[in-house]
């Protein structure tokens, strides 16, 4: 909040008059990692449980396809933000942070490689990663409450328990009890709650995409689009950022960090005065953001319940127009070139949200105290 007050003070001194350099002046990009292997076999009945035979690199790890997806994303970001970052990498202009998880770090390396190729003829190859390892910043997972959100928090846990025990969620479990039992028997693992369905769905979806011979016929039916199985799996992502109590922690601290930098940029106090921040993260990170902003499964933004795809990303952009500042937020789901021009999300304060109004409209999910104080730890 101090940054916001400083921004208003600077505006009064300079009367917020128009100035050269209007337009996009600063951006933050939060992206999900690329294609990965399964976390673990879906149960004792999984015919593809042999890690060495079926999952090169190991469970949970980024695949070569995932690396290429991230390289392509880097190319896309380079075009979108070329005026901000130029053609050559500079840590005074670009900062990259990743969760301390290998697939996310590798995704960050390949994204930077795609943004700053060594030549116009360069194409993706596995050897590009090593050049960028020193440019990606991480924090130990258990201490990362901004991006990985793994640090224990009583406030968030209480909110999650409230949602899990809500009539809506309980009804889904009870109404589908027979199906849960059927899926449990087919998979050979407990299916007792919505989160279990989501894990099974994602595992089967990955195995289906790999085209393995012998993929179970019962699984073929489950992973078809529009099935009840899919809808329940997607429902799990409504947990993320669903209530202000939860969103104030996840993604509250991430939003606070972004907004503080935007306020510093507007007031001229950002040091170093960078132009682009990158965050390499996970599907739940994207879901937390969309849920916290109130746009997940939102008809007015043409968003239905879904799992954020590989390499999907949220762009937070700070624009200046005649000395006034506003935020535009975009959600990119499609790989490669956009099928249609991206449109800013319609937030509580509209698609072009004045910087001060963003604070006002989302004050219920922007933390004002330290992590431990907000969490009542």
Strands of the 353-354 sheet, one edge to the other: 136-137, 94-98, 276-281, 23-32, 313-321, 324-332, 353-354
Total domains in the chain come to: 2
For the stretch 147-197, pLDDT in tens is: 998 899 999 999 999 998 999 999 999 999 999 999 999 999 999 999 999
Strand partners, 276: 27, 94
What is the reported pTM?
0.93
Q: Is the pLDDT of residue 12 over 60?
A: no
Q: Return the pLDDT at 186.
A: 97
Measured CA to CA, the distance from residue 158 to residue 180 in angstroms comes to 26
Which of 182, 204, 236 delimits the end of a domain? 236
> By residue range, what is the domain housing residue 216?
154-236
| Residues 38-84: tens digit of each pLDDT | 999 999 999 999 999 999 999 999 999 999 999 999 999 999 999 99
Residues 245, 105 share a domain:
yes
Is the pLDDT reported for residue 349 higher than 50? yes
Burial class for 310, CB neighbours closer than 10 Å (0-12, 13-18, 19+): buried
Alpha-carbon distance of 217 to 250, in angstroms, equals 38
| Residue that finishes a domain, picked among 236, 254, 274 | 236
Q: Are residues 140 and 43 in the same domain?
A: yes
Same domain, yes or no, for 71 and 13?
yes
Torsion, Cα of 36, 246, 361, 317 (10° steps): -20
285 and 143 in a single domain? The answer is yes
| Pick from 15-24, 79-88, 101-110: least confident | 15-24
> Which pLDDT band, with edges at 50, 70 and 90, does 337 fall under?
confident
State whether 96 and 40 are in the same domain: yes
* Res 11 pLDDT > 60: no
CATH number where 58 lies: 3.40.50.1240
Tell me the two tokens of residue 29. Answer: 């990009």
Claim to verify: residue 76 and residue 158 sit in the same structural domain: no
Q: Give the other-Cβ count within 10 Å of 317's Cβ.
A: 20
Residue 223 and residue 363 in one domain: no
Peptide bond into 248 cis (omega under 30): no
Q: In terms of domains, do 57 and 187 share one?
A: no
Same domain, 91 and 210: no
* Confidence (pLDDT) at 10: 43
Query: Same structural domain for residues 187 and 291?
Result: no
Report strand pairing: 313-321 vs 23-32: antiparallel
Helix (H) or strand (E) holding 245: helix 244-247
Among the candidates 183, 214, 236, a domain finishes at 236
**Average pLDDT value over all residues in the chain:** 92
Q: Tell me the average pLDDT across 229-244.
A: 90
| CA-based nearest residue to 77, from 54, 101, 100, 110 | 110
In whole angstroms, what is the distance from residue 13 CA to residue 19 CA? 14
Q: Are residues 170 and 126 in the same domain?
A: no
Confidence (pLDDT) at 8: 45
Query: In terms of domains, do 124 and 165 share one?
Result: no
């Amino acid at each position: 909040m101090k940054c916001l007050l400083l921004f208003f003070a600077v505006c009064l001194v300079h009367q917020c008059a128009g100035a050269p350099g209007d337009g996009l002046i600063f951006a933050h990009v939060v992206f999900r990692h690329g294609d990965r292997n399964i976390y673990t076999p879906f149960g004792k009945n999984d015919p593809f449980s042999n890690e060495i035979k079926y999952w090169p690199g190991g469970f949970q790890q980024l695949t070569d396809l995932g690396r290429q997806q991230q390289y392509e994303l880097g190319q896309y970001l380079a075009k979108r933000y070329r005026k901000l970052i130029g053609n050559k990498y500079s840590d005074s202009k670009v900062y990259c942070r990743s969760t301390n998880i290998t697939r996310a770090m590798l995704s960050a390396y390949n994204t930077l490689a795609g943004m700053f190729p060594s030549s116009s003829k360069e194409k993706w190859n596995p050897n590009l990663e090593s050049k960028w390892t020193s440019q990606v910043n991480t924090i130990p997972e258990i201490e990362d409450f901004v991006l990985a959100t793994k640090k224990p928090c009583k406030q968030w846990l209480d909110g999650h328990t409230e949602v899990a025990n809500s009539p809506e969620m309980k009804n889904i479990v009870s109404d589908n009890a027979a199906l849960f039992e059927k899926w449990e028997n087919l998979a050979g693992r407990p299916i007792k709650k919505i989160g279990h369905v989501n894990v099974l769905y994602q595992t089967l979806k990955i195995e289906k995409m790999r085209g393995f011979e012998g993929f179970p016929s019962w699984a073929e039916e489950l992973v078809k689009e529009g099935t009840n199985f899919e809808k329940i799996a997607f429902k799990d992502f409504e947990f993320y950022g669903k209530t202000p109590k939860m969103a104030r922690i996840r993604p509250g601290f991430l939003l606070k960090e972004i907004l503080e930098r935007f306020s510093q940029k507007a007031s001229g106090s950002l040091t170093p005065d960078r132009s682009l921040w990158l965050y390499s993260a996970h599907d739940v990170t994207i879901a937390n953001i969309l849920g916290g902003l109130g746009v997940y499964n939102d008809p007015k933004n043409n968003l239905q319940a879904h799992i954020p795809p590989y390499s999907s990303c949220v762009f937070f952009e700070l624009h200046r127009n005649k000395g006034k500042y506003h935020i535009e937020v975009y959600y990119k789901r499609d790989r490669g070139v956009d099928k249609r021009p991206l449109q800013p999300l319609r937030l509580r304060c509209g698609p072009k949200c004045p910087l001060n109004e963003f604070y006002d409209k989302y004050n219920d999910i922007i933390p004002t105290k330290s992590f431990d104080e907000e969490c009542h730890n």
